[in-house]
A and B are shown apart, each in its own frame.
Chain A
């Protein structure tokens, strides 16, 4: 069973009185353990597709299956539980909670899930160690560099051991070296833990480490099955 399966997904937005067709029928299947980049020019529908796959948005039509479950049939609460348990998010702007330290940010998904403080802390510290931030556990986001913040976000995305991590332009706010380092980190975690990574980018520099590229243009997949 595929981890993600989309069937003729369409997504329309209303911008004022104009209907914007963000996705015009996307069929995509992603298996467990894949490291997939969705790329294409700005406005091609990358973020929209990731939002749908991440179950934080709903398609206008078509079907989306995550781990065999049709997302449209789930209640808001069940979708939220699905995100908490099975999906990790890495955002372009890092989106760390500013009043929490690095370790508290990483603990958050586990605490939302209901894990105990000590278990959450142990697992968060372990993840922060994996992303090379053992010395920054008590630092708040505003005391860390962009690369460090994104590493915290990666640790947070992985702390629940999700089957899928979605990263929307994770390197857009980072310099070249840090971008390569972040993609390298994601790749190594993918190889080590077989966690599926799907990320969007239009940065050609990071694509050489990606095994599968899905190219979107005008809301359609132009090149969907390529594997490097």
Chain B
């Protein structure tokens, strides 16, 4: 094998310009895919944290069966009672991967500053549990003013644009109005404890976070419409869902459990779009690499037809000829990806140094352009491109191996 590798390497070095162009095509393709992969990896990471911690979705959300379909029509019927909440919370918190299970209630209505009113959507949360869910993420989008508190049940956190519309600042007063579950109009005073940025244009002008008790009070109910579950690791989400479903079902509770990515429409849409772009870039790179290697190896086969004839005459079998060119193709792939890794790291270092920012569509503030270095993904891509180059080289190599020895020797 070593002798064939030696011949392959020397042939690559012999045609320096052609090999360099091929290596550059592979390297740039590798770097493009790997950098984009690193970028979307970081984006997914950010969006995931934003959904789980920023939006407060936790990892899992437990609903009473039917809530998602008919909850709007008959909410009372599909909400959890106090007793149910307690039992389900106890069962869920017994799970080894669960850090927290906390009830929530989503409300909507009108919010007014006394002069103007606008609609709002709010999440009724238990303040200390909300703090646990946010964790370190809270520092990324801090609340201006005070956070929610169990002590001041009428203190709410208001999204930035909503506060601007209503000309409310931390410490400012307002009124929220909504219909109770019985259909009566209800109004409660609020104090804007803090103002925060949701990070999304779509929600920044209508979102609020209110204490759980306050939300219950506005809807005049003792119930909750969901139970949010925080796990110790997001990668356990799917397994935990299946396990909890089985536990709850075993205890006689008919529930539905949604994962954070199912509930975060933004994450799903962005992921779908990036996955599509990634496939697009990957397909282009795939075609470039295959065509470059086929072209290079095709020319090599043509130029070395007499050499192939000689090797066959000397006793090299057809599969030996295929192997020789396949090794050359694989070596092109290997050297190309090594060059690609160097290119990738260089661009990554430049991005880290410059620290550019940009405003993605639908996002309210600039975000840093961060590209993650993913050694495992790079290694997988490297193996894939080497394999791809090998396969691409085999096509002309097989043609070379099938040639009649006399014809090959007579080739000029």
Contacts and interface: CB of A to CB of B under 8 A. Distances in A.
B313 A89 contact: yes
B406 A84 contact: no
A25 interface: no
A209 interface: no
A109 B317 contact: no
A70 interface: no
A109 B406 contact: no
A113 B406 contact: no
Nearest to B408: A56
Contacts of A51: 406
Interface stretch (A2-10, A36-44, A91-99, A127-135): A91-99
Contact of A99 (B2, B7, B315): B7
A76 interface: yes
B320 interface: yes
A81 interface: yes
Contacts of B306: 93, 95
Interface string B1-19: 0110011001100100000
Nearest to B316: A112
Contacts of A107: 3
B314 A83 contact: yes
Contacts of A117: 2-3
Contacts of B320: 112
B7 A100 contact: yes
A85 B315 contact: yes
Contacts of B3: 104, 107-108, 111, 117
B7 A97 contact: yes
A211 interface: no
Nearest to A166: B313
Interface string A46-62: 00000100101100000
Contact of A81 (B6, B315, B318, B406): B315
B7 to A, nearest CB: 6
B315 A91 contact: no
A57 B312 CA distance: 12
A54 B7 contact: no
Contacts of A145: none
Contacts of A80: 312, 315-318
B388 interface: no
Given A77-B317, A112-B316, A56 B406 contact: yes
B14 A98 contact: yes
Given A95-B409, A98-B14, A112 B314 contact: yes
B318 A95 contact: no
A91 B411 CA distance: 13
Contacts of B316: 80, 84, 112
Nearest to B307: A97
Chain A CB count within 10 A is highest, among B6, B306, B315, B404, for B315
Contacts of A56: 312-313, 405-406, 409
A99 B7 CA distance: 7
Contacts, number: 69
A71 B309 CA distance: 19
Nearest to B7: A99
Interface string A69-87: 0000000110011011100
A206 B70 CA distance: 104
Contacts of B372: none
B315 A112 contact: yes
B16 to A, nearest CB: 13
A54 to B, nearest CB: 7
Contacts of B2: 117
B264 interface: no
Interface in B285-321: 306-307, 309-318, 320
B406 A91 contact: no
A17 B409 CA distance: 23
Given A77-B317, A85-B315, A112-B320, A95 B310 contact: yes
A57 B406 contact: yes
A111 B312 CA distance: 13
Given A95-B306, A112-B320, A84 B314 contact: yes
A84 B388 CA distance: 32
A57 B310 contact: no
B314 A99 contact: no
Interface string B102-113: 000000000000
Contacts of A83: 313-315
A86 B232 CA distance: 71
A168 to B, nearest CB: 9
Contacts of B6: 104
A217 to B, nearest CB: 21
A1 B348 CA distance: 73
A108 B406 contact: no
A85 B315 CA distance: 8
A117 B3 CA distance: 9
User: Which of B6, B314, B404, B409: most chain A Cβ within 10 A?
Assistant: B314
Given A77-B317, A113-B315, 16 more contacts: A51-B406, A57-B406, A76-B317, A81-B317, A83-B314, A84-B314, A89-B313, A93-B306, A95-B307, A97-B7, A98-B14, A98-B307, A99-B11, A108-B311, A112-B311, A156-B314
13 contacts: A56-B405, A76-B318, A80-B312, A83-B313, A83-B314, A84-B314, A89-B314, A91-B310, A97-B311, A99-B7, A99-B14, A112-B314, A112-B315
Interface of B: 2-3, 6-7, 10-11, 14, 306-307, 309-318, 320, 404-406, 409
Interface of A: 51, 54, 56-57, 76-77, 80-81, 83-85, 89, 91, 93, 95, 97-100, 104, 107-109, 111-113, 117, 156
